[in-house]
Amino acid sequence: MATYLDRILAAHRAGAESDQRDTDSLAREAGACGPTRGFASAIRSSNGVAVIAEVKRVSPSKGPLAPDLDPSATAAAYERGGAAALSVLTDAEFFAGSAADLVEARAATALPVLRKDFTVGPRDVYDGRRMGADAVLLIVAALSQPELVDLTGLVVSLGMDALVEVHDEEEAERALGAGATLIGVNQRDLVTFQVDGTRAERVAKVIPDSATRVAESGIENADDVRRLMDAGFDAVLVGEALVTSTDIERAVMALRFDSRDQRG
Question: How many domains, the chain?
Answer: 1
Give the model's confidence band at 262: pLDDT under 50 very low, under 70 low, under 90 confident, else very high: very low
For residue 180, tell me if it sits in a domain: yes
For residue 178, tell me if it sits in a domain: yes
Total-model pTM: 0.94
For residue 192, tell me if it sits in a domain: yes
Which pLDDT score, from 0 to 100, does residue 209 have?
95
For residue 27, tell me if it sits in a domain: no
Give the model's confidence band at 2: pLDDT under 50 very low, under 70 low, under 90 confident, else very high: low
Give 81-103 pLDDT, tens digit per residue: 999 999 999 999 999 999 999 99
Please report the DSSP string for the chain in residue order: ---HHHHHHHHHHHHHHH----HHHHHHHHHTS-----HHHHHHTSSSSEEEEEE--EETTTEES-TT--HHHHHHHHHHHT-SEEEEE--STTT---HHHHHHHHHT-SS-EEEES---SHHHHHHHHHTT-SEEEEEGGGS-HHHHHHHHHHHHHTT-EEEEEESSHHHHHHHHHTT-SEEEEE-B-TTT--B-TTHHHHHHTTS-TTSEEEEES---SHHHHHHHHHTT-SEEEE-HHHHT-S-HHHHHHHH---TT----
For residue 79, tell me if it sits in a domain: yes
Give the model's confidence band at 115: pLDDT under 50 very low, under 70 low, under 90 confident, else very high: very high
Integer Cα distance of 239 and 137 in angstroms:
15
> Which value, to the nearest 10 degrees, does the dihedral of the CA atoms of residues 204, 185, 227, 188 take?
-130
What is the rounded average pLDDT for all residues in the chain?
A: 93
Integer Cα distance of 233 and 231 in angstroms:
6
Rounded to an integer, the average pLDDT of 173-178 is 98
| Residue 193 domain boundaries | 4-10+36-255
**Residue 188 reports pLDDT greater than 90:** no
Give 17-75 pLDDT, tens digit per residue: 999 999 999 999 999 999 999 999 999 999 889 999 999 999 877 889 998 999 999 99
For residue 170, tell me if it sits in a domain: yes
By percentage, how much of the chain surpasses pLDDT 70?
95
Give the model's confidence band at 264: pLDDT under 50 very low, under 70 low, under 90 confident, else very high: very low
Which pLDDT score, from 0 to 100, does residue 260 have?
40
For residue 185, tell me if it sits in a domain: yes
Give 237-254 pLDDT, tens digit per residue: 999 999 999 999 999 999
Which pLDDT score, from 0 to 100, does residue 1 have?
53
CATH number at residue 99: 3.20.20.70
